[in-house]
Amino acid sequence: MNYLRLNINSREIKVKPGTTVLQAAQASGTYIPTLCADPDLKPHGGCRLCIVEVKGMRNMPTACTTIVSEDMVVNTETEAVHKERRSVIDLIIADHPMDCLTCIKNQRCELQDVAAYLGITERNLPRTIKQKPIDDSNPFFTFNHNYCILCQRCTRTCDEITGVNAIEIINRGYNSKVSTFGDKPLMESICKSCGECVARCPVAALVAKNSIMPTSKIETTCPYCGVGCMMELGIRNGKIVSVEGSRSSQANNGRLCVKGRYGIADFVQHPERLVQPLLRKSNTLIETSWEEALNIVAQKLSAYSGDQIAVIASAKCTNEDNYIVQKFARSVLGTNNIDHCARL
């Protein structure tokens, strides 16, 4: 593999051919503000915040769309660059609600991060914002157009990641907005509710309903279909409060579908969960202790010979559960009558 050398803020860096200036900077620990770039999406160049100065190039190119060439000299922190970045953020802030303290994305908002980085402390332009509608039709997430900064991460996700193309920009100029075919609510569109767009929204435009901040996260594997998506369950006060796709697994590369993203907590923490062993007495199932239940099972099963017993294991259970149960069937019950719904 041959490498290209470039210089970012007087630091020498080596990158693979095809790397963008933004990727090169991020890899070397240099922060460049951006609102539309996403590692999973093609370079967009819409927010204009990642503009940099490149020696020998006229104008200020966007780092996300500029491919590194040999001996490129990049400066990400000049006054000219900062001035233009600030004027871009000024424009966005003038068109964005100023209710940060009560906003659901407070402290997780990328617009806040960028504004803070650029040292924006006040609104410098007259307000342009007008009241825009809120699409509340989807049971899992809300689309509040008032917060939308039109970075198009959502529409690009729906195109490049999921291939569903349920949403796109409609109208022009200041009236441009993200919407569905025929400007219908999301629930009346072809949206599959996978939430990949929600996961990528930098502000509070697309947010999961009932979302609260977890205090810890734990990585595990989705229990629905056979794709084996890894996910991070967000935990707060002993309960699952959020689900995110985990980027560490090559099975899903961070992506999830509607069931994995929104269909976990409700069933795991469902009030109808079995919480106590049950025993059939006079034809009704009544609660009993583990001790009694296990003893009865052990005692009853001991009464049959191997060919009188069958075990149905589960494709929902773990490998360890299954290994134990087939070992139990074969070595304790003395039967190969073990199967599971592999075929269904």
Partner 1 sequence: MAKIKTSKLSAGQRTVFLCHGTGCVSNEAFAIRKAFEKSIERLQLTDIKVDFTGCHGFCEQGPIVFVQPEGIFYAHVSLDDVEEIVYSHFRDNKPLERLMYKDPSSSEIVPYFKDINFYKKQRHIVLRNCGRINPERIEDYIATDGYQALQKVLFSMTPHQVIDEVKISGLRGRGGAGFPTATKWQFCHDAPSDKKYLICNADEGDPGAFMDRSMMEGDPHSVIEGMAIAAYATGATEGYIYIRAEYPLAVNRTKFAIKEAEERGFLGKNILGSDFSLKIHIKEGAGAFVCGEETALIASIEGRRGMPSSRPPFPTQSGLWGKPTNINNVKTLATVPLIILHGGKSYSQTGTEKNRGTSIFALTGKINCMGLVEVPMGTKLADIIFDIGGGIPNGKKLKAVQTGGPSGGCLPANMINLPVEYEAFANAGSIMGSGGMVVMDEDTCMVDVARFFISFTQSESCGKCVPCRLGTKQMLNILENICQGRGNITDIDLLQNLAQSIKVSSLCGLGQTAPNPVLTTLSYFRDEYEEHINDRRCRAAVCTGLVTYSIIAEKCPGCGLCIRECPVQAVTSSGKKKPVILDQSKCTKCGACFNICRLGAIAVK
Partner 2 sequence: MAGLATTFGSGAMTNSNNDLLGANCIFSIGSNTTETHPVIGFNIKKATRSGAKLIIANPRHIELVRYADIWLQHTPGSDVALLMAMMKIILKEGLHDNSFIMQRCENFKPFKQSLDDFDLTTAETITGVPLGQIVEAARMYAQNGPSAILYAMGITQHSHGTDNVIAIANLAMLTGNIGKPGSGVNPLRGQNNVQGACDMGSLPNVCSGYQKISEPSIKQKFNVAWGINLPTEEGLSITEMIDSILQGRIKALYLIGENPILSDPDAGHVRKALSTIEFFVAQDIFINESVELAHVVLPGTSFAEKDGTFTNTERRVQRVRKAIDPIGYSRPDWLITCQIAQRMGAKGFDFEQPSQIMDEIAKVTPSYGGISYKRLDKGGLQWPCPDLKHPGTSILHTQQFTRGKGRFMPLRYKPPAELPDKDYPMMLTTGRNLFQFHTGTMSRKVAGLNSFKGEEEVEIHPKDAERLFLNNGDKVKVISRRGEITARIKISEASSPGVIFMTFHFAESPTNILTNPALDPISKIPELKVCSVKISKI
Residues in 201-220 at the binding interface with partner 2, rule: CB under 8 A: 218-220
Q: What, of partner 2, partner 1, none, does residue 43 touch, CB below 5 to 8 Å by kind?
A: partner 1
Pick 83 or 132: Cβ nearer partner 1: 83
Stretch that binds partner 1, among 167-175, 201-209, 222-230, 286-294 (CB under 8 A): 167-175
- Residues contacting partner 2: total by CB under 8 A: 107
DSSP state of 340: -
Q: What, of partner 1, partner 2, none, does residue 240 touch, CB below 5 to 8 Å by kind?
A: partner 2
- Cα(69)–Cα(17) distance, integer angstroms: 8
- Cα(173)–Cα(49) distance, integer angstroms: 19
Q: Which of 73, 88, 94, 240 binds partner 2 (CB under 8 A)?
A: 240
Contact between 53 and partner 1 by CB under 8 A: the answer reads no
CB of 174 to partner 2, least distance (A): 31
196, 158 Cβ separation under 8 angstroms = yes
Site string for partner 1, 114-133 (x = CB under 8 A): -----------xx-x-----
| Window 148 to 207, contacts with partner 2 (CB under 8 A) | 160-163, 192-194
Find all residues with CB under 8 Å of 135, minimum gap 6, and list them. 142, 143, 144, 145, 185, 186
Pick 171 or 248: Cβ nearer partner 1: 171
Pick 176 or 289: Cβ nearer partner 1: 176
Q: What region does 253 belong to: left with phi over 0, alpha with psi -120 to 50, or beta? A: left
For residue 310, which of 340, 334, 338 has the smallest C-alpha distance? 338
For residue 148, which of 121, 172, 126, 129 has the smallest C-alpha distance? 129
Stretch that binds partner 2, among 70-78, 128-136, 144-152, 232-240 (CB under 8 A): 232-240
340, 322 Cβ separation under 8 angstroms = yes
| Window 270 to 309, contacts with partner 2 (CB under 8 A) | 270, 272-280, 285, 290, 293-298, 300-304, 306-309
Stretch that binds partner 1, among 3-11, 60-68, 180-188, 267-275 (CB under 8 A): 60-68
Site string for partner 1, 80-109 (x = CB under 8 A): ---xx--xx--xx-xx--------------
137, 186 Cβ separation under 8 angstroms = yes
Burial group, residue 131, by CB count within 10 angstroms (0-12, 13-18, 19+): exposed
Pick 167 or 204: Cβ nearer partner 1: 167
- Cα(244)–Cα(232) distance, integer angstroms: 5
62, 84 Cβ separation under 8 angstroms = no
Q: And the tokens for 338?
A: 């073990």
Run of H or E residues at 113: helix 110-117
- Cα(54)–Cα(74) distance, integer angstroms: 5
CB of 70 to partner 2, least distance (A): 27
| Window 33 to 52, contacts with partner 1 (CB under 8 A) | 43-48, 51
Q: And the tokens for 202?
A: 């930098």
Q: Which residues of the chain form contacts with partner 1 (CB under 8 A)?
A: 43-48, 51, 59-62, 65-67, 83-84, 87-88, 91-92, 94-95, 125-126, 128, 149-150, 152, 168-169, 171-176
